[in-house]
Amino acid sequence: MVVPVLKWAGGKREILDDLLARFPANFYRYHEPFFGGGAVFFELSPKDGAINDTNTRLMNFYRQVRDNPKELIEVVKGFKHPRSDPDPDRDYSDAKNYYYQQRELFNRRPRGEDFDPLVEAGLLLYLNRTCFNGLFRLNSSGEFNVPIGSYKNPDWVREQEVLEASKALQDTRIFNRDFSFVVDVVESGDIVYFDPPYEPVSATANFTDYSADGFDFDDQVRLIDVLQELDEMDVFVVVSNSGVMRDRYEDAGFYVDLKGVSRSINCDASGRGEVDEVIATNVSPGERRGRRQKKLSDI
């Protein structure tokens, strides 16, 4: 098991065992089209497959982790504690302190010839580990706008975690597309785990601001079409979502189970606490792996 490098809203660590218990005992390759922090991928450390997210800067980050882990660690080691010592030689006239200066750099990164994907990845890791709650939230102009978190000793270097994640990602293809791309890369016997932004329980209850363009009910319906298409291709699918999607998945012919879980990140304080979460799959109970199988090598 590899520890995820980033904190990510909707991280799946709480329901990991419930999810994995619905995976088939045997499968070929593993794909995860709504990757975020990749808690399930890193738990499994699969040998082969594809990961994807529409968040371009996030997928640049994982490419750097996979391809340039040592260089990335060097970049990140260069950052300072978020509340100390702004660089006196730089002109950050409107920045309040070091954290906000790095946030500013992240948002104003040069996109032309000078664009350095390694520095952008370093900034993302630094901000993720020092911002409020590890949220990744963009405003309508696509700028990262999360305030500083209150950590005494934030750990933004994550050397060990970056090196282990890099190993886990070595044979993984990394995409930055809409989730539906996955129908073009799967083969029969593969598994795809989908963890979309959750359909809100009420209009304001859930956190869905992962990207500037959001994910609406039409996207949820599109996702069901993709699940059915994959099912017809003999691909295993597992999807997690908020409990409000339960009937839709059942009507589409999937096995469904409801779980009560507590969500730790929610933009609306009244939405905190236990919410129902649904896990739907085409893996029949007889095909599932045993609860005691923790790692792929146990299969």
Nearer to ligand SAM, 95 or 267 (CB): 267
Total residues belonging to the chain = 299
Question: Rounded CA gap, 213 and 96, in Å?
Answer: 29
Q: Which pair of tokens denotes residue 43? A: 């738990």
Nearer to ligand SAM, 45 or 211 (CB): 211
Residue 249 binds to ligand SAM (criterion: CB under 6 A): no
Instruction: Out of 54, 130, 172, 220, point to the residue binding ligand SAM (CB under 6 A).
Output: 54
HSE value, Cβ hemisphere, 13 Å, CA-based, for 290 = 5
β partners of residue 241? 278
Q: How far is the CB of 239 from ligand SAM (least distance, A)?
A: 11
Residue 215 binds to ligand SAM (criterion: CB under 6 A): yes
Residue 37 binds to ligand SAM (criterion: CB under 6 A): yes
Question: Rounded CA gap, 55 and 36, in Å?
Answer: 8
Q: How far is the CB of 254 from ligand SAM (least distance, A)?
A: 19
Nearer to ligand SAM, 76 or 138 (CB): 138
Nearer to ligand SAM, 27 or 41 (CB): 41
Name the residue among 141, 189, 154 with its Cα closest to residue 26: 189
Nearer to ligand SAM, 37 or 49 (CB): 37
For 60, the 3-state DSSP assignment is helix
Residue 228: φ, ψ to 5°: -70, -35
Instruction: Out of 2, 5, 12, 57, point to the residue binding ligand SAM (CB under 6 A).
Output: 12
Q: How far is the CB of 94 from ligand SAM (least distance, A)?
A: 28
Residue 241 binds to ligand SAM (criterion: CB under 6 A): no
Q: How far is the CB of 243 from ligand SAM (least distance, A)?
A: 15
Query: Which region among 51-59, 115-123, 147-155, 287-295 touches ligand SAM (by CB under 6 A)?
Result: 51-59
Q: In the bound complex, which residue of the shown chain has the CB atom lying closest to ligand SAM?
A: 36
Query: Which region among 3-11, 65-73, 81-89, 282-290 touches ligand SAM (by CB under 6 A)?
Result: 3-11
Nearer to ligand SAM, 62 or 98 (CB): 62
H-only helix segments in the chain: 16-20, 39-44, 56-67, 69-77, 98-107, 117-130, 159-169, 217-232, 246-251
| Residues from 174 through 213 that contact ligand SAM (CB under 6 A) | 178-179, 195-197, 210-211
Question: Rounded CA gap, 119 and 60, in Å?
Answer: 10
Residue 11 binds to ligand SAM (criterion: CB under 6 A): yes
Instruction: Out of 2, 20, 24, 53, point to the residue binding ligand SAM (CB under 6 A).
Output: 53
Name the residue among 63, 67, 65, 68 with its Cα closest to residue 52: 63
Residue 128: φ, ψ to 5°: -60, -35
For 15, the 3-state DSSP assignment is helix
Cα dihedral across residues 76, 79, 81, 82: positive or negative: negative
Q: How far is the CB of 55 from ligand SAM (least distance, A)?
A: 4
Q: How many C-beta atoms surround the C-beta of residue 41 within 10 A?
A: 25
Instruction: Out of 23, 24, 31, 36, point to the residue binding ligand SAM (CB under 6 A).
Output: 36
DSSP assignment, residue 14? G
Binding site for ligand SAM (CB under 6 A): 8, 10-12, 33-34, 36-39, 52-55, 178-179, 195-197, 210-211, 215, 219
